[in-house]
Structure 1
Amino acid sequence: MTLTTLFHLKTLNAYGLNNTRKADIDVIFFNRGAKVGSESMIELFDKLESFNNLVIEREGLKKGTKRQLKMWEQRELAINISQFADGSVYIEHVNWIDFEEFELPKPIYINLVRDPVERVISWYYYARSAYKNAIEYDKFPDKPIRPAEWYKKDFNHCVRSGDPECQYVPYTVNDFAGDFRRQSLFFCGHSDDCLPFNSPAAIQLAKENVERDYAVVGSWEDTNVTLTVFESYIPRFFNGAKLLFDIHTDKITNRNKNRRKPKIDPDVKEMMRRNFTNEYDFYNFCKQRLYKQYLALNLNKVSLMQQLN
């Protein structure tokens, strides 16, 4: 371990890394990303609701996902969230919103991230699942049914063959299929600058929003770390999260699980990663921030024990 690394470790401070203290209202805004395991988080919130005397506001769960909101839509949503009682949790697939722009009190922002390529692959097969399509056709009974070939399409072949659905071209704004390939978009916001795929400018905006506003951006890839940080940095809402997760693991982790996703060949994933470089930069940034928050907790505990002894 280098002296520089030791210095950075010693300077980690849980208080300084905790944006919960910067919130103006005791309300969580979970602007959940697509295919990051948000259904598992919702299931956990269902368990935490009575345990911590929370109010889960469910209207956002009924809304369709929009790529961008107009300014008046952002303002309307921000006003709605700002009026919730303390202890409320609002959940919606929606991009980051700047409450300060509308001179409204800032909530506690949280979200999750996932490996960018794994997310896209998961969405590809989720879009073809009987569960999703049953819901979709129930909402839109007149929508044309896709041909059987589309449901059977192999992802490996889709990427290798140059099928437009599986091409991930940097800086494109309009995609052949809506597959939420821009994980960063949920953190960047509604500006047109956030739309180009794998854009370094969009990634930088997303990073700034995370660093300034988000209390915790977790990941189910590191469940223990994520739940420890949530419990410690947002205790009002996440007290007992690890205990409840352990008790209800099967139900929480199996909710909306994609069981149809087959094995994807390593060379196909590698082909994709070359076009997700900046999305990986953002993903790694969020993971490193999560680890810093976790390490700060442990370092602070060691420091406290040393003082007591």
Structure 2
Amino acid sequence: MLRRFTWFQYKETEVLDVEALNNTRRADRSVLFFNRVPKVGSQTFMELLRRLSMRNGFSFNRDRVQRVETIRLAPIEQLQLARMVSSYSEPSVYIKHVCFTNFTEFNLPQPIYINIVRDPVERVISWYYYVRAPWYYVERKQIFPDLPLPDPNWLKKDFESCVLKADRECRYLEGEIHEGIGDHRRQTLFFCGHSEKCTPFNTVGALERAKMAVEKHYAVVGVLEDVNTTLTVLENYIPRFFRGATDVYYDEVNAFTRINRNFFKPPVSEEVKDMVRGNFTREIEFYQFCKQRLYKQLRALKLTKNTYETNSL
């Protein structure tokens, strides 16, 4: 199978250093923490890690399915989470939908942080139809039988109509703190952290805090739209956990691409997507920031390899 890389624009004069771009070396323990963002292909990457755990010999751990998923935690809950993850023997991986948790604030050893991002508008559309998919409610009812069924009119509401009619669910207002339906529109929230300053939607403050966390703490933030580059960077920057990831992924590519795929999601016009993008400016900026960083990491690998080959002649 042909594996084609998409190269991002970079400055020819920019000095790129693999060591400077790799936060894996800053981790205090060989424990990988994947605080996965919803609807970015995280189910696929979670399954990839499960299979790699058997191949590369590390412990695989994930959060249990919850009735109500809590993304932002109180300080005592953050401490409990950090203690639990710190208790895992090395090497281990832990996976959970949760905001970035800084273990060093609790005087606990820092793990290796990773995550994945996705185009914010495509992601919010995916979430919109995910929570309306019939199989989603079948699975939820099987686990939590007493859950009430949603309003049929809400289930039938399509995304384009929701946007064009300025429905409360699809207005995406800047500075909004609580949208009331848990649609996870704030991708930055998973990097910004648990602070109340991270909750207003599409704000400069949340954006800058999220960028800072990525630069300072995350070994790799992959991009769903470029799996090839993501896997290559993961393999080279975190080899203890991702050795052979590309081969495992493509050996089982059909199985992976079927995970969590929603066949009930209709197409959305570019005109409507453009309307929504107007309200996602800083979320889009954060996505582009993560994308640029990933390609810098890839470019640094290429430069390092070329230098090694030249010096070996």
Match of 2:265 among 256, 261, 264: 261
Match of 1:73 among 46, 70, 77: 77
Kindly state the Cα deviation for residue 130 of structure 1 after the two structures are TM-superposed: 1.6
Name the CA distance, whole Å, in 2 between partners of 1:165 and 1:293. Answer: 37
Check 1:47–1:139 CA distance in 2 against 1; reply closer, same or farther (3 A cut): closer
Match of 2:50 among 40, 46, 51: 46
SS in 1 for 2:115: strand
Matched, 1:5 2:11: yes
Match of 2:65 among 62, 71, 92: 62
Name the CA distance, whole Å, in 1 between partners of 2:29 and 2:116. Answer: 21
Matched, 1:146 2:150: yes
SS in 2 for 1:89: strand
Matches within 5 A, 1:123-142: 123-142=127-146
SS in 2 for 1:165: helix
Deviations 1:274-303 (A, max 9, x none): 000000111110010000000000011111
What's the C-alpha RMSD, in Å, of the aligned pairs?
A: 1.2
Matched, 1:86 2:94: no
SS in 2 for 1:292: helix
Name the CA distance, whole Å, in 2 between partners of 1:233 and 1:153. Answer: 43
Matched, 1:173 2:177: yes
Contact 1:164 1:176 in 2 (8 A): no
Kindly state the Cα deviation for residue 175 of structure 1 after the two structures are TM-superposed: 0.3
Contact 2:207 2:286 in 1 (8 A): yes
Name the CA distance, whole Å, in 2 between partners of 1:220 and 1:183. Answer: 13
Kindly state the Cα deviation for residue 241 of structure 1 after the two structures are TM-superposed: 0.3
Name the CA distance, whole Å, in 2 between partners of 1:266 and 1:5. Answer: 31
Stretches of structure 1 lacking an aligned partner (at least 5 in a row): none
Name the CA distance, whole Å, in 2 between partners of 1:67 and 1:76. Answer: 14
Deviations 1:22-66 (A, max 9, x none): 0000000000001011000011112101110011013x1434421
**Greater CA drift, 235-244 or 148-157:** 148-157
The aligned counterpart of 1:219 is: 223
The aligned counterpart of 2:5 is: none
Name the CA distance, whole Å, in 2 between partners of 1:131 and 1:26. Answer: 37
Give the AA of the match of 2:291: K
Deviations 1:134-183 (A, max 9, x none): 22223443333223222111111110011111110000001042100000
Stretches of structure 2 lacking an aligned partner (at least 5 in a row): 1-9
Contact 2:35 2:97 in 1 (8 A): yes
The aligned counterpart of 1:162 is: 166
Give the AA of the match of 1:250: N
Give the AA of the match of 2:28: D
Match of 1:208 among 200, 203, 212: 212
Aligned length: 303
Name the CA distance, whole Å, in 2 between partners of 1:299 and 1:282. Answer: 26
Give the AA of the match of 1:264: V
Matched, 1:20 2:24: yes
Q: TM-score, normalized by length of structure 1?
A: 0.95
SS in 1 for 2:182: coil
SS in 1 for 2:17: coil
The sequence identity of aligned pairs, in percent, is 48
Matched, 1:295 2:271: no
Kindly state the Cα deviation for residue 132 of structure 1 after the two structures are TM-superposed: 1.5
Name the CA distance, whole Å, in 2 between partners of 1:61 and 1:198. Answer: 30
Contact 2:71 2:97 in 1 (8 A): no
Name the CA distance, whole Å, in 2 between partners of 1:145 and 1:188. Answer: 33
SS in 2 for 1:57: strand
Give the AA of the match of 1:62: V
SS in 1 for 2:248: helix
SS in 2 for 1:51: helix
